[in-house]
Amino acid sequence: MNFLKTTMLLAALTALFMVMGFSLGGPRGAILALLVAAGMNLFTYWNADKIVLKMHKAVEVDASSHPEFYTMVQRLAQRAQLPMPKVYIVDQAQPNAFATGRDPEHSAVAATTGLLNMLSYDEIEGVMAHELGHVKNRDTLIMTMVATIAGAVSMLANFGLFFRDNRGIAGLLAVFIAPFAAMIVQMAISRTREYGADRSAAEISGKPLALASALHKISGQAQRIANPVAQRNPAAAQLYIVPSGVKQMFSTHPATEDRIAALQDMASGGGSDGWSSNADEIGDMGRLKTKRSALDPTR
């Protein structure tokens, strides 16, 4: 059902791209937009990971350069029964993480230096389990394709403001409404997949409260600390575990409080791997039982 819903929403986003083409160039513009959208999707399919990683200037790490972080991801991938993804670090102060790639065999996960410096070992583990959850659920390609097309719709709209010929009120409305419509479709796709990745993370790590604690810590910082990539390309916000620089109404993610509540419900249903299911402890993020050893990305 989720696959069908996502397919329909992607089709709607492509149709919106065609409407933008029609508003700018008539029937020929619509056909050209369809061809461009098809070409973009095909290009993204083969190059999704390269696009996202280059955008963030991510640096690949391995067991020799960052043994603790790499071994953590390796262990989580084994638990999730996934091929070992490539592991990257992004030199960025904002605490965040993302996953990319067209399928589990060609996937990559990345964390920022801000996230690795801020969180405890268990919390980082929860975040990386979430990203592997996206890989396991095959969300990574869809998320990159949606970000690419939504970004193209916004670009066309900006182009139309300056170069649109006189096509009346309908064309003018298309230029202004299309980016908002693309944003709504993008949100509809992404929000459902975030809950699924949170649940997968709890299953992979066995520590739902670790992820809940991580979300609690980084959500506020993600709003206060700038993310240059998201500022240049707002459509990229859906790639991160926590979006940045957007109001909740316009966010591609569910409210962080709702995600935390869902994770707490999972824990209260039966804690695992040393995590308490006591209601008072679940409600207090400051008393989580974590191993206080944040990973040092510069080591």
Rounded to an integer, what distance in angstroms lies between the CA atom of residue 143 and that of residue 238? 7
Within-domain flag for 294: no
Collect all residues with Cβ–Cβ distance below 8 Å to 259 and sequence separation of at least 6. 194, 195, 198, 212, 215, 253
Tell me whether residue 65 is in a domain. yes
Q: State pLDDT tens for residues 245-291.
A: 555 444 567 889 999 999 999 998 744 443 333 333 333 443 334 44
Q: Is 293 a member of any domain?
A: no
List the structure tokens of 80: 């999730």
pLDDT for residue 63 is more than 60: yes
- Residue 297 falls within a domain, yes or no? no
Active site residue 131: yes
- Joined together, the tokens standing for residue 120 give 């405890």
Q: Which range among 10-14, 30-34, 122-126, 270-274 shows the weakest confidence by mean pLDDT? A: 270-274
At 90 the three-state DSSP class reads: strand
Choosing from 131, 194, 257, 281, which is the catalytic residue?
Answer: 131
Bridge partners, residue 110, by sequence: 88, 98
Distance from the first to the final alpha carbon of the chain: 45
Residue at 178 is within a domain? yes
| Beta-strand relationship, 97-101 and 86-90 | unpaired
Residue 274 within a domain: yes
More confident residue, 7 or 282: 7
Number of independent structural domains in the chain: 1
Range of the domain at 198: 2-287
Tell me whether residue 296 is in a domain: no
Residue 248 lies in a domain: yes
281 token code pair: 């402890």
